[in-house]
Copies of this chain bind each other. A is one copy, B any other.
Amino acid sequence: MKLLEDKIRSCGRALNDDVLLVDMFLNHQVDCELMKAIGDEFYRIFKDEGITKIATVEASGIAPSAMAALAFKVPMVILKKQASVLMDGKMLQTEVYSFTKKKSYQLTLKKEFITENDRVLLIDDFMANGEAAMGAAKLIEMTGATIAGIGIVISKNFQPGMEKIKAAGYNVASLAQVAEMGEGYIKFVGE
């Protein structure tokens, strides 16, 4: 997605060969018109998959997912990193390790919001090691639902996540695929 790659090039910053800072438009300050374009692009890619729900992991995935949910006209379900004391009803949980935050958390889903008849498009902002996406997919599949697609805003293809997800048989699309990067430069797949 050229618009997104251009934005990453102009407003993102590779701090080193591992960390891509995009907090100017994606995960701290958020360019919501870009998020709308991203949601529309996910719709274009997955519109024939019979999607009934969009799922995402809080918090950075919410803005692009909300725009995708608007395009698909289906509900969004936010998988929670912290179970609220207000949650009631049957909860499903799975443990996920975050390389970024260097700790594990319990990803939580209230059972009634995704059921066995759902075809879910899972959306996340980043794909690096694939822990969050694999954990989220596992949690959703506990309900009996089908993961009909996985949409990633930015993938760091030199890290194992993309390969892991494909090897597991998921239909994955990443809108900006970083082939390699280092301090001050970013190279996308196909360049």
- Hey, which bits of chain A sit against chain B, CB under 8 A? 15, 19, 21, 23-25, 27-33, 35-36, 58-59, 62-63, 66-67, 69-70, 73, 75-78, 80, 82, 84-88, 100-102, 110, 113
Contacts and interface: CB of A to CB of B under 8 A. Distances in A.
A75 to B, nearest CB: 5
Contacts of A27: 78
A36 B63 CA distance: 12
Instruction: Tell me how many chains of this kind the complex includes.
Output: 2
Contacts of A33: 70, 73
A76 B62 CA distance: 12
Given A86-B19, A88-B15, A88-B21, A28 B78 contact: yes
A38 B85 CA distance: 26
